[in-house]
Amino acid sequence: CMKIGILTSGGDCPGLNAVIRGAVLKGIAVHGQEFVGYRDGWRGVVEGDVIELPRTSVRGIAKQGGTILGTSRTNPFENNGGPEVIKAHMERLGIDAIIAIGGEGTLAAARRLTDAGLKIVGVPKTVDNDLDATDYTFGFDTAVEIATEAIDRLRTTGESHHRCMIAEVMGRHVGWIALHSGMASGAHAILIPEHKVTMDQIATWVKLARDRGRAPLVVVAEGFVLEGMDAPHSERGLDTFGRPRLGGIAEQLAPEIEARTGIETRATILGHIQRGGVPTAFDRVLATRLGMAAIDSVVEGRWGTMVSLHGTEIAHVGFEEALGRLKVVPQHRYDEAAVLFG
């Protein structure tokens, strides 16, 4: 019987455990497969560090946030890794194929390893919903739900104090979480990386809301760049992985809004709360279906592909279709939301 290794890699995301459970339950029930989990993403793969995943290990975990396997941002081509090392560990452990659950970076690495002859299928993961070739990624719905709830709460305290409230949500490169949580909560302005606006425009939206007796509510994605600035928070430097340090645009905007409008303004950064805790039912179902479909990919030998959502159906697409470009918020979706600003 076939033995499959599963890994979760990159930033975590509600629904990861539901993918693992879907894959393990289907694999055992339908194909009599065996499963192991690699610990902490590619680190476990390059070090051959695994845990057994019997049926009992996935009991009741669909509703559990995080990942029971742990995750890391390890690159499998660095850290003494590479295809030969990984193959040797797979042979030693009797692992025939790998299911890699991850985002852009994980799938790009999986693609290179597949080119080197490894048997890998992918499951797309990102709370940002910015992966191409899939209509939705699990975790996004949960993040939007958490952000919307938090923004609703900011609104009531903002109204009591006649303040402008700014909520900063996740979204390093794209504004899907900001767009959806902003629309859901009735924000007076939504600011996303795909669409530059000026400080004057933001101040105009804020004043319009105040003039109608509302407590202005601004939702901003962490990667938002003001018109006239070339990079978000470039002065904040790089994190340990060489990525620009984000978080804090809301705090930059608050004094500017106060200065231009005279309205007392408070900033709240939601941060990792958006990635924690219980996944929504939508995300559990999507994640479970993707996990089960990954088993079909393995059985059919579709190496170098990932499972994805097309409309309401699960599809199989080549890694190359998903990689290289982000799924950004299209202009018409922003314009649609902006009709209600101010």
For tokens 């699990």, what's the residue?
Answer: 138
Provide the minimum distance between the beta carbon of 174 and ligand F6P in the complex, in angstroms, as a whole number.
9
Count of residues that bind ligand F6P according to CB under 6 A: 10
Of 12, 96, 115, 128, the catalytic one is 128
Q: Is 324 exposed, middle or buried (0-12, 13-18, 19+ CB in 10 A)?
A: exposed
Q: Which is nearer to ligand F6P, 167 or 170 (CB)?
A: 170
Q: Shortest gap between Cβ of 233 and ligand F6P (angstroms)?
A: 12
272 is in an annotated binding site: yes
Return d(Cα 96, Cα 225) in angstroms, integer: 46
- Work out which of 147, 202, 246, 270 binds ligand F6P, going by CB under 6 A: 246
Give residues with Cβ within 8 angstroms of 159, minimum separation 6: 214, 215
Residue 314, exposed/middle/buried by CB under 10 A (0-12, 13-18, 19+)?
A: middle
* Residue indicated by tokens 């902006």: 338
Q: Please identify, among the stretches 167-175, 178-186, 260-268, 321-329, the one whose residues bind ligand F6P according to the rule CB under 6 A.
A: 167-175
65 touches ligand F6P by CB under 6 A: no
Nearer to ligand F6P, 275 or 284 (CB): 275
Applying CB under 6 A, which part among 47-55, 84-92, 164-172, 226-234 lies near ligand F6P?
164-172
Query: Nearest approach, Cβ of 109 to ligand F6P (angstroms)?
Result: 16
Query: Are residues 140 and 280 in contact, defined by beta-carbon separation less than 8 angstroms?
Result: no
Q: How far apart are CA 163 and CA 156, in angstroms?
A: 10
8 A C-beta contact, residue 181 and residue 141: no
Instruction: For the segment 122-151, give every residue that binds ligand F6P (CB under 6 A).
Output: 126-128
| Residue 82-121 contact track with ligand F6P, rule CB under 6 A, x = bound | ----------------------------------------
User: How far, in whole angstroms, is CA 174 from its chain's centroid?
Assistant: 11
Q: Name the pairing type of β-strands 189-191 and 217-221.
A: parallel
**Contact call for residue 170 and ligand F6P (CB under 6 A):** yes
Nearer to ligand F6P, 64 or 71 (CB): 71
Q: What is the DSSP letter of 69?
A: T
Is 73 exposed, middle or buried, given 0-12, 13-18 or 19+ CB atoms closer than 10 A?
middle
11 is in an annotated binding site: yes
Which residues contact residue 9 at a Cβ distance below 8 angstroms, ignoring those fewer than 6 apart?
A: 41, 42, 71, 72, 73, 74, 100, 101, 102, 105, 106
Query: Residue 11, interface with ligand F6P (CB under 6 A)?
Result: yes
> In the stretch 23-62, what mask flags binding to ligand F6P with x, by CB under 6 A?
----------------------------------------
Any idea what the Cα angle at residue 120 is, between residues 46 and 57, rounded to 5°?
75
User: According to the annotation, is 74 in a ligand binding site?
Assistant: yes
Least distance between ligand F6P and beta carbon 135 (Å): 18
Q: Is 152 a catalytic residue?
A: no
Shortest Cβ 177–ligand F6P spacing (Å): 8
CA nearest neighbour of 150 among 44, 276, 260: 276
The CA-CA-CA angle for residues 132, 271, 192, to 5°, reads 50
Point out the annotated binding site.
Answer: 11, 73-74, 103-106, 126-128, 163, 170-172, 222, 266, 272-275
Q: Give residues in contact with ligand F6P (CB under 6 A).
A: 11, 126-128, 170-172, 222, 246, 275
Catalytic site residues?
A: 128
